[in-house]
Amino acid sequence: MTAVLLNGKELAAKKREQLKKDVEQLKEKNVIPGLAVILVGEDPASQSYVKAKHKACEQAGIYSELIKKQESISEEELLSEIERLNHDPAIDGILVQLPLPAHISEQAVIEKIAPNKDVDGFHPINIGKMMTGEETFLPCTPYGVVEMLKEAEVELSGKHVVVVGRSNIVGKPVGQLLLNENATVTYCHSRTKNLREMTNLADILIVAIGKPKFISAEDVKPGAVVVDVGINRVDGKLCGDVDFEGVKDQASYITPVPGGVGPMTITMLLENTVQSARKRV
């Protein structure tokens, strides 16, 4: 068998069409959803992400404000810029592109963003609400993963999900969201003993560790659903954390890299921004 492709590109396009309509409806009520993105320094990967976010906003009809700051900006200056945006009525969502220079505390920056404008879903208040299953802004990549699984009508309730990776941005929250969907969740990471044994128990395997082609066919139970969140550049080409060619004949569903989870991340960011604007109405 060859796995069915979980095509994030197609689903993202479909969702963005709907978002466009939602934005039109808000504009009829004189509300224009607004997203502010702060970019500190000249990191090329960050610049390309920010560009993609700006373009996606434009296409959906969302007002997008890009604020560029020198790498030498002090933490205090950055926090006061966020404070200004917290009080700006034209802005529904604030995003500070990570990573930040070493002299700035990411945690301080995340906590400075008003929870009702935290469209990245990283503020401790929003993380707490996610943990308890309350309505809140969900972290964009995990949110996108769950949406893809639901769109493909993958049964989540009662399934064994194994998450490889425990970052605050992907690993931890994606496990929590699937727990909220009544899955049984196991987290694995660099200290896990018998990793292959664990991954072979997964009905749904989610990999987010940043190691190219780390997961091979031997790590995957026949018929498992495999979601590859990794994005790595090897010899100028993009690849995931899963050896796609090796695993695609072992899995029932698989996400490609590129074109899998990536397009969904920005789409869910737009979704959160529009949701924030709705609350303003």
* pLDDT tens per residue, range 208-237: 999 999 999 999 999 999 999 999 999 999
Here the tokens at position 207 are 């990999």
CATH of domain 30-114: 3.40.50.10860
* Superfamily the domain 139-262 falls into: NAD(P)-binding Rossmann-like Domain (3.40.50.720)
Phi-psi region at 121: left, alpha or beta (left = phi > 0; alpha = psi -120 to 50): left
Residue 21 pLDDT more than 80? yes
Per the annotation, where are the binding residues for NADP(+)? Answer: 165-167, 231
Q: Which residues contact 48 (CB under 8 A, 6 or more apart)?
A: none
pLDDT band of 239, cuts 50, 70, 90: very high
Q: What percent of the chain has pLDDT over 70?
A: 100
Looking at the predicted structure, is the pLDDT value of residue 281 above 90? no
Work out the average pLDDT over 155-168: 98
Question: Cα-flanking dihedrals φ and ψ of residue 209, to 5°?
Answer: -125, -15
Is pLDDT at 1 greater than 80 in this prediction? no
Question: Taking CA 117 as the corner, what is the angle to CA 35 and CA 178, rounded to the nearest 5 degrees?
Answer: 105
pLDDT bucket at 256, cuts 50 / 70 / 90: very high
Give pTM, 2 decimals.
0.95
Distance CA 164, CA 186 (A): 9
Q: Which segments of the chain belong to CATH 3.40.50.10860? A: 30-114
Active site residues: 53, 97, 120
Q: What pLDDT is recorded for position 247?
A: 98
CB atoms within 10 A of CB 13: 12
Higher-confidence residue of 176 and 2: namely 176
Q: Are 185 and 143 in contact (CB under 8 A)?
A: no
Q: Are 106 and 112 in contact (CB under 8 A)?
A: no
Classify residue 242 by its DSSP letter: B
